């Protein structure tokens, strides 16, 4: 019996015991994959009115998590499906799904999408019960890192205002997150996505699998961030390998503390990515130092050193990046950063030739994703 017929038959399996037996009888030794195929069939049926088309051949696993990722189309629009890899028990017991990591990301996106923000990826559909999943918009332009590296090889360099607008878009997204008491904890170019809407470039923040609710205190009168805000969530050492060290603030590396202030630090690293056309942080720095291993980056930062900035980055941007890497108590807020962006005026419409960035721009490999 083919999969479609099996999935349709599963609808009529009434009791938990008979359903478990149905899976055992038909999984052919690969229970998890059978359940996942069953889930995909259920989702296609559930979103029939929106014409959801899932491409099974694009299946990928998200890191070390129990999440499968699929490319898909919904009503003709490109989207991404994240699907929890259910066990047989989870299909039959809703309580077993309460601590599943994907559930947190779904809940975060549900909060963020309650009031639409133009600089956040849209949530097209989700479910916190089996089959637990979320469907978010994606773009043919790809993520920001790929976009920046793509324009680096164009014969005509980008306008300065284009790079500044990208930074402003992400900053606006982070201000919106702050208003919802959410910290991102994984802010970098590969987690931002480039869209063309109404003929204009628009950058949106996405991938909230490490985002958490923050319980921060009020901002200080000078619009900087308090220590209370910078330590609003923490992680244990065994979870530390989920985070991208090159974008982590010193307090996040040393103590596992994350908050608004650590997001500001990560944003500073992101600014260096933007203005070096996707250059990898801490690689081929102006002094000649190149930190290839994350362990070397940790030691470098914990020793009091900071990312060296490419000499071609405009001074106004350099100043802002440097401010994001001071002590957590004195880092600017995203609102303050936005005000500074709006005040920046470049003397030349053309930023700089990408050829000048040969020792900053490098390709990433699979281990960096």
- As a whole number, mean pLDDT of residues 43-47 equals 88
- As a whole number, mean pLDDT of residues 300-314 equals 93
Under the banding of pLDDT at 50, 70 and 90, the label for residue 362 is: very low
What CATH code would you report for 3-137? 3.30.200.20
Q: Determine the pLDDT at residue 225.
A: 44
In the chain, the N- to C-terminal Cα span, in Å, equals 39
Instruction: Provide, rounded to the nearest whole percent, the portion of the chain with pLDDT above 90.
Output: 57
In 89-180 the beta strands, taken as DSSP E runs, fall at: 123-127, 133-137
Q: Determine the pLDDT at residue 86.
A: 86
Q: What is the mean pLDDT of the chain?
A: 83
Under the banding of pLDDT at 50, 70 and 90, the label for residue 312 is: confident
**Residue, of 367 and 92, whose pLDDT is higher:** 92
- Residue 142: its H or E element: none
Q: Determine the pLDDT at residue 6.
A: 52
Residues 6+ apart with CB under 8 A from 29: none
Distance CA 250, CA 101 (A): 25
Least confident of 58-67, 130-139, 267-276, 355-364: 355-364
- As a whole number, mean pLDDT of residues 9-19 equals 54
Least confident of 94-108, 115-129, 132-146, 347-361: 347-361
**Which parts of 27-123 fold into alpha helices (H)?**
31-46, 88-92, 101-113
Q: Determine the pLDDT at residue 13.
A: 46
Under the banding of pLDDT at 50, 70 and 90, the label for residue 216 is: low
Q: What is the DSSP letter of 125?
A: E
Reported as a single tens digit per residue, the pLDDT across 244-281 is 999 999 999 999 999 999 999 999 999 999 999 999 99
Least confident of 254-258, 278-282, 313-317, 344-348: 344-348
Q: Determine the pLDDT at residue 4.
A: 52
Q: Is the model's pLDDT at 241 over the cut of 70?
A: no
CA 23 to chain centre: 35
- As a whole number, mean pLDDT of residues 216-228 equals 43
The CATH class given to the 142-356 domain equals mainly alpha
Q: Determine the pLDDT at residue 19.
A: 65
Distance CA 71, CA 132 (A): 17
Distance CA 320, CA 197 (A): 28
For residue 32, give the nearest of 94, 90, 80 by alpha carbon: 90
Least confident of 24-38, 154-168, 221-235, 325-339: 221-235
Residues of the chain with CATH 1.10.510.10: 142-356
Q: Determine the pLDDT at residue 63.
A: 73
Residues of the chain with CATH 3.30.200.20: 3-137
Least confident of 137-141, 142-146, 299-303: 137-141
């Amino acid at each position: 019996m083919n999969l479609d017929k099996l999935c349709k038959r599963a609808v009529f399996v009434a009791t938990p015991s008979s359903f478990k037996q149905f899976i055992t009888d038909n999984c052919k030794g690969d229970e998890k994959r059978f359940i996942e195929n069953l889930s995909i069939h259920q989702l296609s049926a559930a979103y029939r009115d929106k014409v959801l088309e899932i491409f099974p051949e694009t299946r990928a696993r998200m890191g070390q998590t129990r999440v499968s990722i699929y490319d898909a189309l919904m009503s003709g629009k490109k989207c991404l499906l994240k699907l929890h890899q259910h066990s047989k028990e989870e299909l039959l017991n809703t309580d077993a799904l309460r601590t599943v990591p994907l559930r947190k990301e779904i809940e975060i996106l549900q909060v963020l999408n309650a009031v639409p923000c133009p600089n956040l990826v849209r949530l097209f559909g989700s479910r916190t019960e089996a089959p637990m999943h979320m469907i978010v918009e994606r773009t043919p332009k790809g993520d920001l890192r790929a976009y920046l590296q793509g324009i680096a090889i164009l014969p005509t360099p980008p306008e300065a205002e284009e790079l500044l607008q990208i930074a402003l878009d992400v900053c606006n997204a982070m201000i919106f997150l702050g208003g919802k008491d959410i910290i991102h904890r994984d802010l970098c170019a590969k987690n931002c996505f480039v869209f063309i809407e109404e003929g204009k470039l628009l950058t949106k923040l996405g991938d909230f699998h490490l985002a958490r609710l923050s319980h921060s205190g009020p901002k200080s009168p000078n619009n900087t961030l308090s220590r209370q805000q910078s330590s609003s969530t923490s992680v244990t050492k065994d979870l530390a390998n989920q985070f991208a060290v090159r974008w982590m603030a010193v307090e996040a590396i040393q103590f596992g503390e994350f908050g608004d202030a650590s997001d500001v630090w990560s944003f500073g690293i992101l600014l260096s990515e933007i203005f070096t056309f996707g250059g990898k942080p801490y690689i081929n720095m102006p002094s000649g130092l190149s930190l290839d291993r994350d362990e070397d980056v940790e030691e470098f930062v914990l020793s009091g050193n900071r990312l060296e900035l490419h000499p071609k980055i405009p001074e106004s941007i350099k100043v802002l990046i440097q401010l994001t890497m001071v002590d957590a108590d004195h880092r600017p807020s995203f609102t303050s950063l936005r005000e500074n962006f709006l005040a920046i005026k470049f003397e030349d419409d053309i930023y700089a030739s990408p050829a000048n960035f040969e020792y900053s721009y490098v390709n990433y490999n699979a281990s960096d994703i």
